[in-house]
Amino acid sequence: MVEEGKPAPDFELTTDAGESVKLSDYRGKPVVLYFYPKDDTPGCTRQACDIRDNYSAFEERGAVVLGVSPDDQTSHVKFKEKYGLPFTLLADPDHKVAEDYGVWGEKKAYGKTYMGVERSTFLIDSEGNVARVMRKVKPDTHADDVLAALPA
């Protein structure tokens, strides 16, 4: 289980640009690592667009924003282009990273049970440690909540 004050589990995933990156590549900067269920769905779109609309505030704090979902690179490219998202999306199709961060599991919606990603965010400090764990975040207040938790 990922805990505040402990090292963030490192990983390697493919970006929307087709590049392979590791979390450790971002050492020296705070990272907003946010997990979301699916590209181009209503809640995930509101969440991503809210981050987009507040992106300058994330940049002012030197933060790198990384969005992670089980969608593949092609889906991420379409989602990013459609909404003009200025941050990196990472493909986790086998949901290994979601599992490592404890956000993959059983979900219920519309009377059905399925496996999926819990909408969660991990703030990782410049030294690679988990500074804050935010579980079951709300799409409409996510950007404000994260900015309030980031050091100014």
Read off the pLDDT of residues 69-87 as tens digits, 9 standing for 90 and up. Answer: 999 999 999 999 999 999 9
Question: CB within 8 A of 151, min separation 6: which ones?
Answer: 30, 61
Choose, from 44, 63, 85, 130, the residue flagged as catalytic. Answer: 44
Q: What share of the chain is helix, strand, coil (3-state, %, to 5)?
A: 30, 30, 40
Active site residue 49: no
23 pLDDT higher than 80:
yes
Which structural domain range is residue 95 located in? 29-149
Query: What is the rounded average pLDDT of the residues 107-113?
Result: 81
Q: Of the candidates 1, 91, 102, which has an alpha carbon nearest to the alpha carbon of residue 38? A: 91
The answer to whether residue 113 is domain-embedded is yes
The answer to whether residue 62 is domain-embedded is yes
Which pTM does this prediction carry?
A: 0.95
Distance CA 80, CA 86 (A): 8
125 pLDDT higher than 90:
yes
Domain count, the chain: 1
CATH of the domain at 104: 3.40.30.10
The answer to whether residue 10 is domain-embedded is no
